Amino acid sequence: MVGRWVVGISGESIMTKRKLTRFFGIAVAIYGIATIVGISIRVFDKTDDDVVYSTFKDMIPFVIAMPAAWLGYCLQRRSSYLQQLRMLWSRLVEAMQDSVHYTYLDNPTEEQHAHVLRSIGISIDEVRGVFYNLNENDGNSLYPFEPLKDVYGIVRDLGHGDITPKQKRKKCREQIFALWRAARQELLKEFDREVPTFSHSHWVQPDKSDVYDEYGIEKKVT
């Protein structure tokens, strides 16, 4: 899972989905324990004027406020992390699109080749600014999203100029698509995503095929 290896650029551990879920569970457990303790005290408190229970009631605002304040802090960190993650996502998408576009060029220049490699290289290092390497503390760290580095290698080996057959470029394009699908499948798990309230998919909603029928547009699975 992605969330296990995340760290902020400043070095501070940041709020992944897994960690936020765990903290919410702890807060719910605290409230549950407080409720059980309160009921138990109320039932078994035999002191005059229910002194113990009255003292517990006076402490309830603190019992409620402390986990609530902590959860507020966690949510703020989660929001900051998601913003950082979306910026990284935009950079990765741009780099992968540049890579795919490069495979369509019949005679790319050295400058175009260098531009694409630079774009991929930047995105690879930006991942390091958001995620720890795997086994970081074992002295044998591994990059968390190897397919991105493999895409870099594919584009690098393609070279530039009129030296790459069209069939080979097509194969490289398919490899890039496959590697990107594999990497983004894991990366997207960290986002908070929902099915859209309103959508337009003629595969799911046949009644929304009018524009395709009216203009004779072929329906393709992409």
pLDDT of residue 12: 52
pLDDT at 11: 45
Is residue 24 within 8 Å of 71, Cβ to Cβ? yes
pLDDT one-digit tens code per residue, 15-42: 777 788 888 899 889 889 888 988 888 8
- Predicted pLDDT of residue 70: 85
The predicted structure's pLDDT at residue 222? 67
- Residue ranges of the chain with pLDDT lower than 70? 1-14, 163, 222
Determine whether 217 is exposed, middle or buried from the number of CB atoms within 10 Å of its CB (0-12, 13-18, 19+): exposed
Q: How many residues does the chain have?
A: 222
Question: pLDDT tens for residues 151-188?
Answer: 999 999 999 987 678 899 999 999 999 999 999 999 99
